[in-house]
């Protein structure tokens, strides 16, 4: 019974991985290059894992299937590298770079399989298997280096938290699977398959339970990709927005909205939101609240007889709780403690 359960948990991940891989390759929308690489990555991993499962439980499987599984393993690392690369930066040059890498690798794999079959060259394949695993490990390393190189854009400057979780999970999951297969001789041959099943279902649960899938799969969402604005327009929007907010003191309006500001500036609200998100690393509410908090701090320092609630209302907040939350977010302290720190009782 335990062997049957082990087979089930090992094989079910591989089977479902093929289904998900085909979905990303042919049915996922929008049609992005990163989706193609993600689908290919799931397929390659699933085929490799499937080969391990059947070889572990039924070691009489055809040599051709063993070779096919190892061929898939040969491409796992490159698919991971180009998936992460295209998810971070969806540029046309990535496609050309991927083709120049994947086509030669695939050609070498196919030629090797036909010229040196497993059944006739078992000693050679013993060496080739180590080469395949080392190549896989190297691409995992290169992917990690790429993530580290782009850490500011991906993990610090970006507000897209779901993508940070997803891309980290993809990388760490693949690292775990790669290590499991590379250390199979010292642990158990089936550990790699079990690792894949665990990682796969963790990723699928994350994918299913997060509604805004574009934010999860892409660093830059489609909304902003379709509305690129150049640097000169960004500077103009920033200047006009700051002038409008500070000169007319619009931040004192408790009912101020991005649509109202867009109407006054005669600029689309999408462009304002995009400018704030991409270039000022903030959103409209936090941007307006920053001016309100600065005004509130000055009032707290000068108007000793005013209550904090009165100051909040005078500075554009429509409730005391909103004021306290915004103040703590902007300054790291509460209005009451700020008043005490400035010697005001």
Cβ atoms of residues 173 and 229 within 8 Å:
no
Query: Do the beta carbons of residue 78 and residue 137 sit within 8 Å?
Result: no
Are 162 and 216 a contacting pair, CB within 8 Å?
Answer: yes
The answer to whether 196 and 176 are in contact (CB under 8 A) is: no
- pLDDT mean over 168-197: 73
Residues 6 or more apart whose CB falls under 8 angstroms from that of 90 comprise: 32, 33, 34, 218, 220, 225
pLDDT one-digit tens code per residue, 249-300: 888 888 888 888 888 888 888 788 888 877 777 888 888 999 999 998 888 8
Can you list the positions of beta strands (E) in 110-266? none
Q: For the ranges 95-104, 118-127, 152-161, 178-187, which has the lowest average pLDDT? A: 178-187
Q: Is the pLDDT of residue 205 over 70?
A: no
Residues 138 and 146: beta-carbon distance below 8 Å: no
- Give the CA distances from residue 198 to residues 62, 155, 275, 286, in Å, rounded to whole numbers and listed in that order: 27, 25, 40, 39
Contact of 207 with 213, CB cutoff 8 Å: yes
Give residues with Cβ within 8 angstroms of 227, minimum separation 6. Answer: 270, 271, 274
What's the pLDDT tens digit per position in 37-66? 989 998 998 888 877 776 666 666 667 777
């Amino acid at each position: 019974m335990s062997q049957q359960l082990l087979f089930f948990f090992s094989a079910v991940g591989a089977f479902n991985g093929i289904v998900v891989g085909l979905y990303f390759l042919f049915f996922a929308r929008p049609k992005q290059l990163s989706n193609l690489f993600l689908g290919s990555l799931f397929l390659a991993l699933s085929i490799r894992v499937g080969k391990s499962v059947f070889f572990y439980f039924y070691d009489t499987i055809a040599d051709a299937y063993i070779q096919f599984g190892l061929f898939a393993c040969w491409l796992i690392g490159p698919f991971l590298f180009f998936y992460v690369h295209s998810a971070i930066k969806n540029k046309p040059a990535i496609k050309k770079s991927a083709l120049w890498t994947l086509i030669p690798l695939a050609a070498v794999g196919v030629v090797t399989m036909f010229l040196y079959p497993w059944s006739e060259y078992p000693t050679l394949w013993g060496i080739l298997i180590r080469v395949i695993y080392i190549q896989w490990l190297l691409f995992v390393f290169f992917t990690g280096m790429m993530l580290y190189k782009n850490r500011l854009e991906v993990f610090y400057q970006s507000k897209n938290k779901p993508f940070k979780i997803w891309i980290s999970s993809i990388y760490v999951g693949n690292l775990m699977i790669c290590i499991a297969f590379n250390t199979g001789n010292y642990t158990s041959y089936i550990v790699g398959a079990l690792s894949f099943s665990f990682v796969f279902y963790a990723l699928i649960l994350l994918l299913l339970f997060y509604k805004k899938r574009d934010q999860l799969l892409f660093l830059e969402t489609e909304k902003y990709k379709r509305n690129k604005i150049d640097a000169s327009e960004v500077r103009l929007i920033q200047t006009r927005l700051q002038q409008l907010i500070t000169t007319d003191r619009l931040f004192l309006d408790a009912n101020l909205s991005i649509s109202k500001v867009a109407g006054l500036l005669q600029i689309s609200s999408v462009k304002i939101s995009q400018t704030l998100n991409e270039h000022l690393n903030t959103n409209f509410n936090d941007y307006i609240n920053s001016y309100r908090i600065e005004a509130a701090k000055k009032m707290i320092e000068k108007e000793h007889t005013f209550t904090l609630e009165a100051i909040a209302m005078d500075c554009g907040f429509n409730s005391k709780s909103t004021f306290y939350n915004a103040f703590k977010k902007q300054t790291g302290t509460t209005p009451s403690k700020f008043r005490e720190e400035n010697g005001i009782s």
